[in-house]
A and B are shown apart, each in its own frame.
Chain A
Amino acid sequence: MNPVDLWRERFRNYWNEAIRYIRLMANSGLAVATLGILLIIGVYYQSFLDWLPADFPVLQVLTVVFAFLLTRSPTRTFVKEGDLVFLLPFEARLGPYMRRSLIYSWLMQGAVIFLLFFLLAPLYMDRLPGAETGLFVTIAVLVLAKLWNVVAEWVEIRQQFSVSHWRHRWLRFVVNLVFVFFLLQTAWVFTGITAAIMLAVLGTYYRQLYFNHFLKWETLLQQEHRRLNAFYRFANAFTDVRHIGQTVRKRSWLAERFERVSHRKANTYIYLYGKTFARSGNYFGLCLRLGLVGALLIYASPEAWAWMIIAIVGLFIYMTGAQMATIYFHHKVLLWPSIYPVPDSARRHAVKSLVRGVLLVQTLWFTLITALTPVPIVVAALAFVTGVAVSFYYTRFSLDKYFAAT
């Protein structure tokens, strides 16, 4: 097979799968969350800029952020376990395959830098010396610098030991810091000099490094695994991903609570799902995250817009419910629930009670946060009522629909 075709096929396979997951995520509240966050950013952006103190070190912070983004330049190679056997003989002919991987990685990571800088453009115009031209030149140069980094990292990982990988990464980070620091101040001359040095290093040191070492397949495989797992873990925050092993945590303080359920047949599944909730990586962590984000938003809501707090509470309780509902399928692959002499209605009932309990605790938490903000106490009371109403509505109606749909 021709290496370019092979690359294309791998690329297509990966994205087909990724798009499936993205669609699943979109269905499970990611779309709502993203839209909500974008809206909130949009609403707050100008006031955020006004609020940001004049002595805030914008230059230093942006320098570190972009230097970091530049330095972190892993190449997506789409290599698979089996390549160790099947592609090894063709290594000499894989040049075009790897070149495509490099370009692909550059474009993807360049796009991230482009977007982020674009988002930060108002801040740049406001606080840094550059004007419009400066902005465009800076974006373009940053994206080009990304290419330098992608190539450099690609050469670095040809070395055997991860110690040398890290050493090079740190050095590159320092170089990137200097480079971005000059760039953001539109110090073109210094930027140019740094760039010239960087290119020279690439042409000499890295060139020699490239020829002295050969491709380390194991490293590539490891990196590819890490990239894939990161994606699955992210997707797993929104939907069920079967590929990844869930880590189980002990979390005794929470799990012990369910040890106290009274010993009755009807409580079988309360016990099971309670422990699952407490220990599985998914559910508790998600509730915590949603609780924190919601609390942050409530806390940041402008005083004049008390209704927004109510909307946030309603939305976040609903989102917590939607995340918790998936616990119903958590043990689906296990045989036991279909063997126990316990009716299936008890299982549904247990999921409902558990979800209701979690939502009510979340409601209390949001109410507490609302009470701590300077808004009138009646808003806190309203937030509480809304939270309770959504909790009961969700467990009474939405969950039944969810059970029935699947």
Chain B
Amino acid sequence: MASLLNIEDLAGGYSPNKPVIKGVSFHVEAGEIVGLIGLNGAGKSTTIKHILGLMEPIDGVIQVRGKTMGEDMESYRQALGYIPETPILYEELTLWEHLRLTAMAYGIDDKAWQKRAEQLIETFQMKKMTHWFPSHFSKGMRQKVMVMCAFLVEPELYVVDEPFVGLDPVGIKSLLERMIMMKEQGAGILMSTHILSTAEKHCDRFILLHNGYVYMQGTIEALRQQANMPGADLDTLYIEMTKEASV
């Protein structure tokens, strides 16, 4: 069976002469969490935009379950759930309405979504805010709305961009628990983050991006071997990479 997400030799960016990312190849399988790691400007966001189909690749292919977006746009998008780095909310909709809109857009039937929504509201402790408008939300609550919308859909593949920023410790814990639960139910998760200790603890594999290239990828053990630094943690490996790569 084809990989859940398969990226081959992707080049992309805003101008064909100056691609932001070059020759990026990696894959995400069902039932794993893959960390996308890199400095600011390494190309993480560009990679994510390409996966979401917001930008067209200059070169290379992106497939979800073996199909590119051009081949079947609706099922491609249907398979993806996205948690953006900065919350993007409709100022005119309450929390509950955000959930319903998302449920409608992803064709989740009327009974199923309400049950899931109630559970999520419980988990993320947003009961009081169910009928609030975003203008009354703090940064963390806004982020929670994004997280809840993504988990409501229960897509096959989660694309998660820097999800921990702004969340309180309880929120982070709930988010991680949910991610592990979804992973165990067979979803694949691609997560970009700077919080390396958390990434190291929860990701099965890592993709280290640097200056638009995949510098290294693999399990933490594989990374240690490649860098020839047995026993090193992700933080150290990462710093070492940025030093080496800039020489």
Residues of A at under 8 Å CB distance from B? 246, 248, 250, 263-265, 267-268, 271-272, 275-276, 278-280, 331, 334-336, 338-343
Q: B54: which of A334, A335, A343 is its contact (CB, 8 Å)?
A: A335
Q: Is the CB of A248 within 8 A of B135?
A: yes
Q: Which residues of A contact B92 (CB under 8 A)?
A: 248, 275-276, 278-280
A341 touches B106 (CB 8 A): yes
Q: A272-B101, A340-B77 are in contact. Are A331 and B90 (CB under 8 A)?
A: yes
Q: Are the C-beta atoms of A341 and B88 separated by less than 8 Å? A: no
Summed over the interface, the residue pairs from A and B with CB atoms below 8 Å come to a total of: 70
Are A271 and B77 in contact, CB atoms less than 8 angstroms apart?
no
Q: Chain B residues with Cβ under 8 A from A279's Cβ?
A: 92
For the complex formed, measure the closest distance between the CB of A156 and the CB atoms of chain B, giving whole angstroms: 35
A342 and B76 alpha carbons, distance in the complex (Å)? 11
Is the beta-carbon distance between A335 and B84 smaller than 8 angstroms?
yes
Instruction: Offer 19 A-B interface pairs, CB within 8 angstroms, sorted by A.
Output: A246-B91, A263-B103, A263-B109, A264-B107, A265-B104, A265-B105, A265-B107, A268-B101, A268-B104, A275-B90, A275-B93, A276-B92, A338-B53, A339-B52, A340-B77, A341-B77, A341-B78, A341-B107, A343-B74
Give B82's nearest chain A residue, CB to CB. Answer: A339
Query: Does B24 sit at the interface, judged by CB under 8 A?
Result: no
Complex: A275 Cα to B135 Cα, angstroms = 16
Residues of A within 8 A of B26 (CB): none
Shortest CB–CB separation between residue B137 and chain A, in angstroms? 12
Apart from A275-B93, A335-B84, what 11 extra A-B contacts exist at CB < 8 Å? A248-B133, A250-B133, A263-B100, A263-B104, A268-B105, A278-B92, A339-B53, A339-B77, A339-B80, A341-B75, A341-B76
Q: 0/1 per residue, B58-92, Cβ < 8 Å to A?
A: 00000000000000011111101010100010111
Q: Cβ of A250: which chain B residues have Cβ within 8 Å of it?
A: 133
Q: List, in ascending order, chain A residues with CB within 8 A of B101's CB.
A: 268, 271-272
CA distance A142 to B166 in the complex (A): 58
Q: Which of A265, A267, A275, A334 contacts B88 (CB 8 A)?
A: A334
* A contact residues around B97 at 8 Å (CB): 271, 275
Assess whether B105 is in contact with A342, with CB atoms less than 8 Å apart. Answer: yes
In the complex the two chains form, what is the Cα distance from A278 to B91 in whole Å? 12
- Contact check, A335 vs B88: say whether CB atoms are below 8 A apart: yes
Q: Is A248 a contact partner of B77 (Cβ separation < 8 A)? A: no
B213 to chain A minimum Cβ distance, whole angstroms, is 27
Distance (whole angstroms) from the CB of B111 to the closest CB of chain A? 9
Which A residues lie within 8 Å of B244 (CB)?
none
Residues of the A chain whose Cβ atoms lie less than 8 Å from the Cβ of B75: 341
Which residues of chain A are near B82, meaning CB under 8 Å?
A: 339
A214, B78: Cα distance in complex, Å: 64
Q: Chain A nearest CB: distance from B49 CB in Å?
A: 10
Which residue of chain B is the closest to A273 with respect to CB atoms?
A: B92
Q: How far is the CB of A277 from chain B (nearest CB, A)?
A: 9
* Chain A minimum-CB-distance residue to B134: A248
Point out the residues of chain A lying under 8 angstroms from B77, CB to CB. 339-341
Min C-beta distance of A20 to chain B, whole Å: 25
- Given A248-B91, A263-B110, A279-B92, A340 and B105 touching (CB < 8 A)? yes
Q: Give the distance in Å from the alpha carbon of A340 to the alpha carbon of B105 in the complex.
A: 6
Q: Which residues of B contact A264 (CB under 8 A)?
A: 104, 107
Least CB distance from B147 to A in Å reads 15
Interface centre among B77, B90, B97 (most CB of A within 10 A): B90
Interface hub of A263, A271, A331 (most chain B Cβ within 10 A)? A263
Q: 5 shortest A-B CB distances, which residue pairs?
A: A341-B77, A340-B105, A341-B78, A263-B110, A268-B104
Closest Cβ neighbor of B49 among chain A residues:
A335
In the complex, what's the smallest C-beta–C-beta distance from B222 to chain A, in angstroms? 33
Nearest CB of chain A from residue B101's CB, rounded to whole Å: 6
In chain A, what residue has the closest Cβ to B105? Answer: A340
Chain B min CB distance to A114 (Å): 42
User: Separation in Å of the A274 CB from the closest CB of chain B?
Assistant: 10
Could you tell me the distance between the alpha carbons of A340 and B73 in the complex, rounded to whole angstroms? 10
Q: B109 contacts which chain A residues (CB < 8 A)?
A: 263
**Residues on A with beta carbons closer than 8 Å to the beta carbon of B84:** 335
- Cβ–Cβ < 8 Å partners of A342 in chain B: 105
Bound-state CA distance A93–B82 (Å) is: 56
* Chain A residue at smallest Cβ distance from B89: A334
Most buried by A among B52, B92, B106: B92
Which of B54, B73, B91, B107 has most chain A Cβ within 10 Å? B91
CA distance in complex: A278, B94 (Å): 13
- CB <8 Å contact, A271 and B100: yes
Partner of B90, one of A334, A339, A341: A334
* A21 CB → nearest B CB, Å: 22
Bound form: Cα–Cα A280–B93 in Å: 10
CA distance A248 to B135 in the complex (A): 9
Nearest-CB distance from B78 to chain A (Å)?
4
Contacts of A248 in B (CB 8 A): 91-92, 133, 135
> Which B residues are CB-close (under 8 A) to A268?
101, 104-105
Q: How far does the alpha carbon of A73 sit from the alpha carbon of B201 in the complex, in Å?
A: 66
In chain A, what residue has the closest Cβ to B96? Answer: A259
Partner among B54, B91, B105, B135 whose Cβ is within 8 Å of the Cβ of A341: B105
Please measure, in the bound complex, the distance between the C-alpha atom of A271 and the C-alpha atom of B100, giving whole angstroms: 9
B100 nearest CB neighbor, chain A only: A271
Contact with A along B138-157 (1 / 0, CB 8 A): 00000000000000000000
Nearest chain-A residue to B155 (Cβ)? A341
| B54: A residues at CB distance < 8 A | 335, 338-339
Query: How far, in Å, is B135 (CB) from chain A's closest CB?
Result: 6
B135: chain A residues at CB < 8 Å are 248
Set of chain A residues within 8 Å of B107, measured between Cβ atoms: 264-265, 341
Q: Which residues of B contact A271 (CB under 8 A)?
A: 97, 100-101, 104
Shortest Cβ distance from residue B118 to the other chain A in the assembled complex, whole angstroms: 16
